[in-house]
Structure 1
Amino acid sequence: MNTIQPDHDGTNLRIGIVQARFSNEIGSAMLKVCTDKLAALGVHTDDITVATVPGALEVPLVLQNMAATQQYDALIAIGAVIRGETYHFELVANESGAGVTRVGLDYNIPIANAILTTENDEQAHARIEEKAADAAIVAVECANLVNLLLEEQLDDEA
């Protein structure tokens, strides 16, 4: 049995981040935690690109455009969708999540989805640290895994 071990070395990885500005206090705090964690994993600050968009529904479009450049090893989606009194919460949560997933599959690029979907501000604030740090770890680990698998595929074809 061949087991591939997780690799959390972010050295030489390029990471793109898209942050939704709606609920900006939460998104900005998440961005800080995420970029700090990426740096702790060895990702150089010059290898991190951050784009902001108005809200979670706009995140997939910018992720798609970043993925299309083929300049990134992984992408991260950051933001918060907090339940209100209307059905809009479900629409935004479902469509942004589906869009993020679709971009990753269409472009074969790992995307860590750290768009929080919570009932209230308190729940969102309670999840900032863990979710943002986890997104950095997921991006680095999955980038390294996909890069390794692509290298193995090229070696097999040679």
Structure 2
Amino acid sequence: MLNADKGAAPRLDGSKLHIGIVQARFNEGITNALAAACRTELLALGVAEENITHVLVPGALEVPLALQALADREEFDALIALGCIIRGETYHFELVANESGAGVTRVSQDYHLPIANAILTTENLEQAIARQTEKGADAARVAVEMACLLESLA
């Protein structure tokens, strides 16, 4: 393995990183909680407040376009996608979940930029509430870990 022993703890030093967050407003109570947990964890990992850019978009389908706009700026070491899609009675859930997920992945691969995808896809509001804090914090850890990993592989 490169630069690490098997089972070694991930490098989570965000002190030199610039992180962009794109948050969907739809299901705002959940996405605000995701964002709060994410920001708190980024700060705990050493990311400076002034090195965090946070933008809001209407919903999960708009997240990839905003991620692309941030990636175009070439200022960020990693990006984070935050949103919440709750299953309804129509096929719309599958469309939004699939397309937003594919868009996030496409931007990450096209720009060779880590993007932590914390767009929740749940059956109901209760499941979203149960996941909002941990998934927000987890997205911060993923972004920092992947930015550090890619730096070490460069």
TM-score normalised by structure 2 residue count: 0.95
Cα deviation 1:29-57 (Å, max 9, x = unaligned): 11000000000000000000000000000
1:58 aligns with: 62
CA RMSD of aligned residues (A): 0.9
2:76 aligns with: 72
1:91 aligns with: 95
Asked whether the equivalents of residues 3 and 152 of structure 2 are also in contact (C-alpha less than 8 Å), the reply is: no
Is 1:117 paired with 2:121? yes
Deviation at 1:3, TM superposition (A): 4.4
Q: SS where residue 22 of structure 2 aligns?
A: strand
1:48 aligns with: 52
Gaps of 5+ in 1: 151-158
Cα deviation 1:48-90 (Å, max 9, x = unaligned): 0000000000000000110111100000000100001110000
Distance, in Å, in 1 between the alignment partners of 2:63 and 2:110 is: 15
2:149 aligns with: 145
Asked whether the equivalents of residues 23 and 63 of structure 2 are also in contact (C-alpha less than 8 Å), the reply is: yes
The answer to which of 109-118 and 2-11 deviates more is: 2-11
The amino acid that maps onto 1:89 is F
The amino acid that maps onto 1:26 is I
The amino acid that maps onto 1:56 is A
2:132 aligns with: 128
Distance, in Å, in 2 between the alignment partners of 1:3 and 1:145 is: 9
* Structure with bigger gyration radius: 1
